[in-house]
Structure 1
Amino acid sequence: MHILVIDGNHVEAEFRQKFGPTHEYTFFRISEVATYDDFNQQLEACLIACNVVFDLPGLLHLQNRKLPSLLPVFQEMSGAANSSSTLSSSVCFGFCGLPTLLNRALLEVSLYDEADRGKLAETCAALGTDYRVVEDRVGLVTPRVICQIINEACFTLQEGTASMQDIDLGMKLGTNYPHGPFAWANAIGVERVYAVLEALWQDTHDERYKVCPLLKRQALRGQPFAV
C-alpha cells in the first residue's frame, strides 16, 4: 500500500517500524509548503496517489475536500472529539498516533460509523496490522490512561512527596512500564500530553483530568522535564 502521513514526521520511524518496509510512504509536512496554491496542488497529488491516509493534525486540512472514493482516512484522535466525518467520499476512522503509542502490536482505532467495520478490517489486513476498536471518545484508551498517570506524577512532584527521578524509577520497577511518567511525557511531548488532558477536562470536567499546574507550565514553556 501507499501510505500518506500528514504532519507525522515526528513519528516517521514508528510508522515505518509499525507497518514495515513492504509499503510505500509519503510524509507530507504542511509547514514545508511555500504557498497556499502549492499546498493544494501537492496535497491533491498525494491524495490521488495513496491508498490510505494517516492524518496527524486531525482532518484540519482535509475537511470539505473531494477525496478519492472510499479512501480510508485515519484521524489522530488522542486530543479531540469527533463523532462524525465531514470528508466526502472517504471512510474515516480515529486512531492513536502519539509518539511511543503507535508502534504496538495492536493499532488502537475508533469507528465513526458502525457500517465501516468491514472496511476497517480490510484496510488493517492490507496494512498487515492487528487492531482493536475502542470507544469513539476524547483520549481513546491508552492516551487517556498514560496522560492521567503523568498528570498524577506531576501532582506528586509538585507536592514534594518524591523526586522526579524516584517517581520514574518507582513506576518502572513497580509497574514494569517501559518508561517512568516524566521520561514518558518527554518522549510523547509535554505539549501533547497537556493537549490530551485539556481536551479530556473540557469534554468531561472530571477532576481526574484537571491539569496539574506544573505540567501546564512545562507545556506552555515548551520545556521537557529534567529527568
Structure 2
Amino acid sequence: MHILVIDGHHVEAEFREKFGPTHEYSFIEADYESDAQWAPIQQALNLAIITANVAFCFCDALSSRSQYYLLKDTKCPIFIEILREFLADAHHEGLNGQPTQMLFGFCGLPTLLNRRLLEVSLYDEANREKLAETCSALGTDYRVVADRVGLVTPRVICQIINEACFTVQEGTATMQDVDLGMKLGTNYPKGPFAWANAIGVERVYAVLEALWQDTHDERYKVCPLLKRQALRGEPFAV
C-alpha cells in the first residue's frame, strides 16, 4: 500500500516499525506561515494523493489548510489523530458538514502507536467493513473505541502522568521514586515522568487541557507542575 502521512515526522520511525517495510510511505510536513510556503506543500500533496491507498493526518495538521485539502480531494480512507477534539469536529471543520466516505480517528501519540492494536474510532458505522479491509491491508489488528477527546489510551496515560505530577508537587515522593515505583509495582514499561518525556510533555498537557475543557471533570484538571513544564517546553528531569 502507498501510505500518505501528514505531519507525522515526529513518529516516523515508530510508524514505519508499526506497519513494516512492505509499504510505500510519503511523509509530508504541512506546517506553513505564508501562501508561498503552502505552494510546495500543495504540490507534494497533489502528487501523493493520486496514488495513496490510505492517509494518516496527525494532530499538528488539524488546524492547517492541509486537512481541508486532504479531506476534500482524496477518496482513500483517512485516519485523523484524535487528541484535542472529536472526530465529528474534525469532519465538520474540514468539510463543512459535507459527507465523506471513509473517515476514521486513531491514536498516534509517540510510544502508543506501535502496539499490537491500532486504536481507532468511527465517524460512520457504515464504514466498519472498510475499516476492517484497510487494517488488514496495513497488516494490523485494531480496536474500535468511542469517538471522544483523547480516545482511551491517551486519556488514561495522561491522567496517570497528571496524578504523578500532583504527587511530586505535594512533596510525597520524588520523580525518580514515582517512576521506579510504577515500573516495579505495576510493571509499566516506563514511569509516568519518563513516559511523559517520551510522548512529549506539551502533548500530554494538550490532551489533558482538551479533556478538562470538554468534561470539567476534576480528574483532568492539569497539575501546575505539568503545565509549567509544558509551557516552558522542557522535559521532566528524570
The answer for the alignment partner of 2:150 in structure 1 is 139
Query: SS in structure 1 opposite 2:119?
Result: strand
In structure 1, how many angstroms separate the alpha carbons of the residues matched to 2:100 and 2:221? 38
Query: SS in structure 1 opposite 2:5?
Result: strand
Counterpart amino acid of residue 68 in structure 1:
T
The answer for the alignment partner of 1:157 in structure 2 is 168
Is residue 51 from structure 1 mapped to residue 53 from structure 2 by the alignment? yes
In structure 1, how many angstroms separate the alpha carbons of the residues matched to 2:210 and 2:151? 11
| 1:1-227 pair list within 5 angstroms | 1-31=1-31, 35-57=37-59, 59-60=62-63, 61-63=66-68, 66-69=72-75, 71-83=76-88, 85=91, 86-87=94-95, 89-227=100-238
Query: SS in structure 2 opposite 1:30?
Result: coil
Instruction: Please give the TM-score of this superposition, normalised by the length of structure 1.
Output: 0.95
In structure 2, how many angstroms separate the alpha carbons of the residues matched to 1:83 and 1:12? 26
Query: SS in structure 1 opposite 2:73?
Result: coil
4+ runs deviating over 4 angstroms: 86-90
Query: SS in structure 2 opposite 1:131?
Result: strand
User: Is the 8 Å Cα contact of residues 55 and 76 (structure 1) preserved in structure 2?
Assistant: yes
1:45 positional shift: 1.5
Instruction: Please give the TM-score of this superposition, normalised by the length of structure 2.
Output: 0.90
* Count of aligned pairs: 226
Among all aligned residue pairs of Structure 1 and Structure 2, give the percentage whose two residues are the same amino acid: 72
Query: SS in structure 1 opposite 2:229?
Result: helix
In structure 2, how many angstroms separate the alpha carbons of the residues matched to 1:179 and 1:154? 15
In structure 1, how many angstroms separate the alpha carbons of the residues matched to 2:62 and 2:73? 12
1:89 positional shift: 4.5
The Cα RMSD (Å) is: 1.6
In structure 2, how many angstroms separate the alpha carbons of the residues matched to 1:149 and 1:89? 36
